Amino acid sequence: GAGVSQSPSNKVTEKGKDVELRCDPISGHTALYWYRQSLGQGLEFLIYFQGNSAPDKSGLPSDRFSAERTGGSVSTLTIQRTQQEDSAVYLCASSLGLKREGETQYFGPGTRLLVL
């Protein structure tokens, strides 16, 4: 597609349930990033993929959070046993992946997650 797409755009879930968030990067972009945007914390890095590998997952806040990427394209961020503090907007970005530093990242519209 023309840009990064994310689904669903909005997700409401009950505390304790698992959720899956999907990101479809720009075609040809090998690097993919997940960020979380919340009122109190601003924009936080979660995880970085190069191809199907995740060389940097330092931002994942707990072991309830995991992500995978298959076929070097679509990525899924999974949050298990959701808590109310997981409520946030989850943003995905992609870049060409030719170099680690300084590449422009292109962002999707985000998934707004609300945990009741």
Indicate the helix (H) or strand (E) that contains 35. strand 31-38
Euclidean distance between CA atoms 51 and 73, whole angstroms: 8
**C-beta of residue 17 within 8 angstroms of C-beta of residue 78:** no
Q: If binding is defined by CB under 8 A, does position 61 make contact with another protein? A: no
Q: If binding is defined by CB under 8 A, does position 42 make contact with another protein? A: yes
Q: If binding is defined by CB under 8 A, does position 65 make contact with another protein? A: no
Q: If binding is defined by CB under 8 A, does position 25 make contact with another protein? A: no
Euclidean distance between CA atoms 28 and 114, whole angstroms: 32
Q: If binding is defined by CB under 8 A, does position 13 make contact with another protein? A: no
Number of residues that bind another protein (CB under 8 A): 23
Q: If binding is defined by CB under 8 A, does position 43 make contact with another protein? A: yes
The SS3 call for residue 90 is: strand
With CB under 8 A as the contact rule, the residue among 22, 45, 51, 64 that binds another protein is 45
Sign of CA dihedral 22, 31, 69, 81: negative
Q: If binding is defined by CB under 8 A, does position 101 make contact with another protein? A: yes
Residues that bind another protein (CB under 8 A): 4, 33, 35, 42-43, 45, 48, 56, 58-59, 91, 93, 100-102, 104-110, 112
